[in-house]
Chain A
Amino acid sequence: DTAVSQTPKYLVTQMGNDKSIKCEQNLGHDTMYWYKQDSKKFLKIMFSYNNKELIINETVPNRFSPKSPDKAHLNLHINSLELGDSAVYFCASSLASGGHNEQFFGPGTRLTVL
């Protein structure tokens, strides 16, 4: 039973399109995250939600909008896709935001913008 799952695994789309990536965790965790790993393999946090409340919002363009309908889901919607958005996006979850809670990562969604 997958702990953190993401859909789709691969996403190929044209510039200017709008797309969404979904994430679900079945661990009963309160906190969820989105990370972006670029072509140089740098892994950087984008957003974090704790109990459906946004707690981390790094310097990310407004075109990226996370949505957490409930504690088990954190979706990422991207408007007007650009070439530079091509990357692997990882969702993660942890029991809570503070403390020493390990983060469990999903398998990633590889987004390619043509």
Chain B
Amino acid sequence: DAKTTQPPSMDCAEGRAANLPCNHSTISGNEYVYWYRQIHSQGPQYIIHGLKNNETNEMASLIITEDRKSSTLILPHATLRDTAVYYCIVRASSNTGKLIFGQGTTLQVKP
């Protein structure tokens, strides 16, 4: 699975959009981009995934560049409860389900 690079930390004002970037320049054609987050002292939580088209669900939007070398997770109206570590993970659908977590981005939402 391709490696990902994320900034270690970011701040966001409550109510504003949080844009979390991820680089995955070695991504292969059959690999998807997944986002999970881990709120303090809890287990990780799935947010969204995508291949090449932009995706949106009730939690977030995922924007993947045309060359697929990077992506951005958007939380449209961040709340204090969105403070967490956000992990960008690349994996192929054929693999055994193994998720390889990097260091992630610690998002601090401030009042």
Contact = CB atoms under 8 A, between A and B. Distances in A.
Contact of A98 (B36, B41, B95, B100): B95
Interface of B: 32, 36, 38, 41-46, 49, 85, 87, 93-101, 103
B97 A56 contact: yes
A64 B22 CA distance: 34
Given A90-B44, A92-B43, A103-B46, A97 B32 contact: no
Interface of A: 4, 31, 33, 41-45, 48, 50, 55-56, 90, 92, 94, 96-108
A103 B32 contact: no
B76 to A, nearest CB: 21
Interface core residue of A48, A50, A100, A106 (most chain B CB under 10 Å): A100
A26 B38 CA distance: 22
Contact of A108 (B42, B87, B96): B42
16 contacts: A41-B85, A42-B101, A43-B87, A44-B101, A50-B97, A55-B97, A56-B96, A92-B43, A98-B93, A98-B94, A98-B97, A102-B49, A103-B36, A103-B97, A103-B99, A104-B46
B44 A55 contact: no
Given A43-B44, A55-B97, 16 more contacts: A42-B103, A43-B38, A45-B98, A45-B99, A56-B97, A90-B44, A92-B43, A94-B97, A97-B96, A98-B96, A99-B93, A104-B46, A105-B44, A105-B45, A107-B43, A108-B42
Contact of A48 (B32, B43, B44, B97): B97
Nearest to A96: B97
Contacts of A48: 96-98
A31 B97 contact: yes
The 9 closest A-B pairs by CB, nearest first: A105-B43, A102-B46, A97-B97, A43-B101, A105-B44, A90-B43, A97-B96, A45-B98, A55-B96
Contacts of A96: 97
A101 B49 CA distance: 10
Contacts of A31: 97
